[in-house]
Amino acid sequence: MIGFYILIGIISLLSWVVSNTLKRKFKKYSKVHLRNGMNGAEIAQKMLDDHGIYDVKVISTPGMLTDHYNPQNKTVNLSEGVYNQRNASAAAVAAHEVGHAVQHAKAYKWLTMRSKLVPIVSISSRFSQWMVIGGIILGAGAGQPGIGQMVAIGGLAFMGMGTLFSFITLPVEYDASNRALAWLENKHIVTREELAGSKDALKWAARTYLVAALGSLAMLLYWALQVLGGRD
């Protein structure tokens, strides 16, 4: 189990570094005020209008970095700091979340795949690791190797769904950022300096998803070795 704790430590450290860097970047670019005077909500609404999307609402949501697009009720949810602020960070986040709304409107294939996996992953993620650990214990300690192996492999399958979900999330997030930055630049919403800040902020936001995906893959491989490594 020492290897497991080392792996957890490495993943946690990477996640901490990226998360804290992201917060610093957003704080830095929140001081780069937009010359056009638009706040996040106004930018989001304009981007929706420019793409002919009129059935999506822009609303404010509590918290920091809690911004997201909800395809169920078609809302772009912007944290209070993004909704009301007029800076490069707010512009980046607002446009990124609308990027997801554009993906939804255009039936972007990776977003469609991700949405279909949400109900499955929401259930499998709760039980996957417990099934793997329980299967290993059942096989080794309870003298039921066959049943234990089946339970553990079932847990691996659930864990694999979560890993797949993490990697499908990557093109969804990167594409939303690319759509956002292209629109911000082409519509002259931001200046060159403001655009550079928006790019850097979104780059670090994307890295949080990359670290999560790599962490999920590492965990899957580790437990797969524990379950299947000793098989003849």
Work out how many domains the chain is built from and give that number: 1
Question: Of 38-42, 71-75, 134-138, 165-169, which range is least confident?
Answer: 134-138
The domain of 27 spans 2-228
Residue 1: predicted pLDDT: 61
pTM, two decimals, is: 0.88
Rounded Cα distance, 137 and 119, in Å: 28
Q: Which of 27, 76, 17 is nearest to 197 (CA)?
A: 27
Q: At what angle do helices 88-105 and 40-50 cross, to 10 degrees?
A: 30
* Confidence tier at 136 by pLDDT (50, 70, 90): confident
Rounded Cα distance, 135 and 224, in Å: 12
Residue 144: predicted pLDDT: 58
E strand intervals along the chain: 57-61, 68-70, 75-79
From 42, 80, 97, 193, the catalytic residue? 97
> Rounded mean pLDDT of the chain?
91
42 given a catalytic annotation = no
Q: If you average pLDDT over residues 147-166, what whole number do you get?
A: 93
Indicate whether 231 pLDDT > 80.
no
Rounded Cα distance, 5 and 209, in Å: 22
219 vs 173, higher pLDDT:
173
Indicate whether 137 pLDDT > 50.
yes
pLDDT digits (tens, 9 = 90+) for 18-70: 999 999 999 999 999 999 999 999 999 999 999 999 999 999 999 888 999 99
Indicate whether 5 pLDDT > 80.
no
Neighbouring C-beta atoms of residue 81, cutoff 10 Å: 20
pLDDT digits (tens, 9 = 90+) for 73-111: 999 999 998 999 999 999 999 999 999 999 999 999 999
